[in-house]
Chain A
């Protein structure tokens, strides 16, 4: 079939007037009021963030009168502290990442990746996976757009692995609940898995395992120009991201922290050591397998997992579980089945799964 070419059609004549250009000129610079509001918001954010622990302890122990170290008091203090903390962090991280993402579109990322050699391409694709706006529901059109434009298959996979795995929600939660070290470990090992797994898939030369109709699609140069974004647009983009993402995941975060808090208070110390501890070799693969069908609850799972870590689960096992939850999702596999033959999907899950296993084992050995 012939690819459909786009002609630059004249201004739409539908309703007479043609004023398509006007809208972009309306929203230009910030007013003093907007700048003031922005600075005010940051100051309020920082103030609340630094006072949280104080307020949580005051509410739990002084206002409600629970005694410190009690079964009920500790989890309540934990919940009152961690819920607002994580939500505040999530808001600021999602906003920041939203602003960075306003500089990248899938179209621009494709342009960067086109004609790159495999190894360099894998590294770039994994990094771009973090900053390019991506929703798993458009994984297939994106895949087709990349492959049809001559981005190597392995490089495309590096992008597809990194984009969901290294995401701002996971990073904000990890930073808030585990500290920056675990967040950094997650970020770097996640990127490494995306780079290497994509590189391996490229080396396996699996182009023949794409569905046949995929080969018929030829690149169409998307003639779409979004137009220059100014800073006011970017800030709006960031705010939209906050509304969209935080609005969606906050319930999972609250639920997750509540369950986590209950575990903190009621599950005995060392309980998890026998199940998810260092010495049970099978814990890592079992965690990876359990993680595959879990997807939408990623935001809720991290707080639970943090509580488990506190009760003696090993860090490597916990990392492997989180990566599997976030990176290997059954719904995504079903979506990708439209363009990939089963062998290639199995290879994709296999290679990434082995990478996650290795991360789990290595951290259990090292720490």
Chain B
């Protein structure tokens, strides 16, 4: 499972990355978490509000810090 957190490095983006990593650790999920800051790359994923989360190629959230509960449900827990 591949999780990408997209964001140009703003405070909310770092917060989202931290939260995703925390959830992954908590539920002991076997996933890689990538943090992508390159604007060109972000744009190519079709995301235009950050922070965004892409899990296995699917945009799960954009433009907000998701609730922990939501992240858990995306990870299948």
Which residue numbers of A lie inside 8 Å of B, CB to CB? 1, 3-4, 6-9, 11-20, 22-23, 105-107, 110, 133-135, 137-138, 140-146, 148, 213, 217, 219-224, 226, 335, 338-339
Q: A45 vs B43: C-alpha distance in the bound complex, in angstroms?
A: 43
Which residue numbers of B lie inside 8 Å of A, CB to CB? 1, 7-10, 12-13, 27-31, 39-40, 42-50, 55-64, 69-70, 73-77
> Chain A nearest CB: distance from B71 CB in Å?
10
7 nearest A-B pairs in the assembled complex, by CB-CB distance: A145-B48, A220-B46, A137-B10, A224-B59, A144-B43, A14-B1, A141-B48
Q: Contact between A105 and B43 (Cβ–Cβ < 8 Å)?
A: no
Query: Once A and B bind, how many residue pairs between them come within 8 Å at the CB atom?
Result: 134
> Chain A nearest CB: distance from B42 CB in Å?
5
What are 5 A-B pairs with beta-carbon distances under 8 A? A105-B62, A138-B49, A142-B48, A222-B59, A224-B62
> Chain A nearest CB: distance from B33 CB in Å?
12
**A16, A19, A135, A148: most-surrounded residue (chain B CB, <10 A):** A135
Q: A12 vs B29: C-alpha distance in the bound complex, in angstroms?
A: 11
Q: Contact between A135 and B8 (Cβ–Cβ < 8 Å)?
A: no
For A13, the closest partner residue in chain B by CB is B76
> Chain B nearest CB: distance from A287 CB in Å?
29
Q: A14 vs B72: C-alpha distance in the bound complex, in angstroms?
A: 11
> Chain B nearest CB: distance from A364 CB in Å?
38
- Chain A residues whose C-beta falls within 8 Å of the C-beta of B44 in the assembled complex: 1, 3-4, 217, 220
For B53, the closest partner residue in chain A by CB is A224
For A8, the closest partner residue in chain B by CB is B58
Q: Contact between B43 and A217 (Cβ–Cβ < 8 Å)?
A: yes
User: With A17-B76, A140-B8, A213-B40 given, is the CB distance from A3 to B46 under 8 Å?
Assistant: yes
Q: A7-B57, A137-B8 are in contact. List 16 more A-B contacts (CB 8 A).
A: A9-B56, A12-B74, A15-B27, A17-B76, A17-B77, A19-B73, A19-B77, A20-B76, A23-B69, A105-B49, A106-B62, A106-B63, A107-B48, A142-B48, A145-B46, A338-B39
Q: Contact between A141 and B30 (Cβ–Cβ < 8 Å)?
A: no
> Chain B nearest CB: distance from A53 CB in Å?
37
Q: A351 vs B9: C-alpha distance in the bound complex, in angstroms?
A: 29
Which of A11, A15, A110 interacts with B29 by CB under 8 Å? A15
Q: Contact between B76 and A9 (Cβ–Cβ < 8 Å)?
A: no
For A220, the closest partner residue in chain B by CB is B46
For B59, the closest partner residue in chain A by CB is A224
Q: A226 vs B59: C-alpha distance in the bound complex, in angstroms?
A: 10
Q: Contact between A12 and B57 (Cβ–Cβ < 8 Å)?
A: no
- Chain A residues whose C-beta falls within 8 Å of the C-beta of B29 in the assembled complex: 14-15
